[in-house]
Amino acid sequence: MTTISDDGLKVSNTYVAGDIIAQHADDDVSISPITKINGQDVQEYLEKIADWEQYTNLDARYNSLLFRKGNNGSFVSPAQVFYGVYDNAATTVTFKNGTTRRYNNIASISSAAEGIDWSDVTDGKSLFKILSKLKAAAYKPDTSSAAQKAALHLSRRTLVSRDYSNYPKPVVNHSDAMMAGYFMDTVDYVAVLQISSFDTSSADNATRSSHEFQNLVKEFLNKSQDEGKKKLILDLRGNGGGDVDLLLDTFMQLFPAETPFSAQRYRAQDGYKRVGDALNEIKMNDTAYKEFMSNWYEGQKSINCQDGKKYSAD
C-alpha cells in the first residue's frame, strides 16, 4: 500500500502498491484509489492500525505501514514480531470505482514452535501456557568461527540486497550498507542522507564500521555544502535502531549548536550502579555472557521480585 498526491500539493490518495507499479510499467493500465478498508474510511483505518506500530512519532508510525523501495511496509509485511492488531481473517478493500478486493490475513508460526500440539489452544490463556513452555535454550546457534562469519555475512547481505535500482548513484556508501548519501537527479538543490541502520553488531569489525559511518556522514555533509545543496532529506525508513552513540553523533553533526536529548538518562542511585556493575561482569566473562544471552527471553530464568523465586512453567 502507498500514498500519492496528484500534484504534490493535494491530499494524497491511497493505492495498492502493486497497482502503482503496474501502471508505471504500462500507462494504459487504469487504477483506482482506495476509499475504505473493512468498511471504514481508509485514512481513519490506517491511523488506527498505525497506533500499534512501535514508533513514538505519528508520521513514523504511519509511514511504516507503506510500501517503498527496499521495504514492503508493515501493513502487508510485518516484522518477525508483529506490533499490529488482529482484525479478522481477511481484509476487504473498497476502491473509488466501486470495486472491492478481499485479502486473506495469514499468520506464520516461528520455527521455535514447530511440533507443538495446538489442539488444546482454546483461548488466550491456554495459548500463553503453551508458549511459555518454549525453551529459549532449544535454539543452540553454531558458535564456530565459520558459522559466525556466515551469519554475519547473511545479515549484511539482507541489508545490501534491498532494491535501490531506482536510486541515483550514491555520493557516499557505507561498506556494511548502514547509510548512503545521494544527490537528486531531478532537483539539483536537494541532498538525501539515507540511514538504514545505526547497528554495527553484524559488522566484522564494529569499531571500524562505526568510525566509517561517522566519517561518511561528515564527508557527505561537506560535499553537500560544496555542491551548493540547500535542502537535506533524512531518510530513516526501515531503520530499526542500533547504537545510540552513532545516533547522537549524527545529530551533533547535523545540528552542532544543539544539545542532544536522548531521553535515556536514569537517576543516579545505588540500584542502577549495581545493575551496571553486574552487567559489566557478565560481559567480561564469555561463559556467563553466553548463558545470559541464551536465557534472555526464557521466563523461567527470571526472578519474581515479589517472592525472590524463579517463575514456574505454569
Q: Which residues pair with 15 in a beta bridge?
A: 2
- Relative to beta strand 231-235, strand 190-195 is parallel
C-alpha 15/C-alpha 35 separation (Å) is 9
Give residue 85's pLDDT.
67
C-alpha 20/C-alpha 29 separation (Å) is 9
Cβ count near 220 (within 10 Å)? 25
Give residue 81's pLDDT.
41
Give residue 156's pLDDT.
39
> DSSP string of 68-128?
BTTB--TTTS--SS--S----SEEEEEETTS-EEEEE------GGGTT--GGG--SHHHHH
Give residue 299's pLDDT.
62
Predicted TM-score (pTM) of this structure: 0.55
Residue among 220, 211, 180 at smallest CA distance from 197: 180
Angle, helices 270-284/286-294, rounded to nearest 10 degrees: 110
CA 58 to chain centroid: 15
Instruction: Report residues of the chain scoring pLDDT below 50.
Output: 77-83, 136-161
Q: Which residues pair with 104 in a beta bridge?
A: 90
Q: In this structure, is the dihedral angle defined by the CA atoms of residues 142, 146, 148 and 151, taken in order, positive or negative?
A: negative
Give residue 165's pLDDT.
61
Angstrom distances, CA of residue 7 to CA of 11, 13, 15, 312: 9, 11, 15, 60
Give residue 74's pLDDT.
53
Q: What is the DSSP letter of 242?
A: B
Give residue 148's pLDDT.
42
Give residue 229's pLDDT.
97
Angstrom distances, CA of residue 130 to CA of 107, 108, 135, 197, 289: 17, 17, 11, 35, 28
> What is the layout of strands, in order, in the sheet containing 179-183?
172-173, 179-183, 190-195, 231-235
Give residue 212's pLDDT.
97
Give residue 152's pLDDT.
40
Q: Residues with Cβ < 8 Å from 203, sequence gap 6 or more?
A: 152, 156, 176, 209
CA 242 to chain centroid: 10
Cell of 237: 525508513
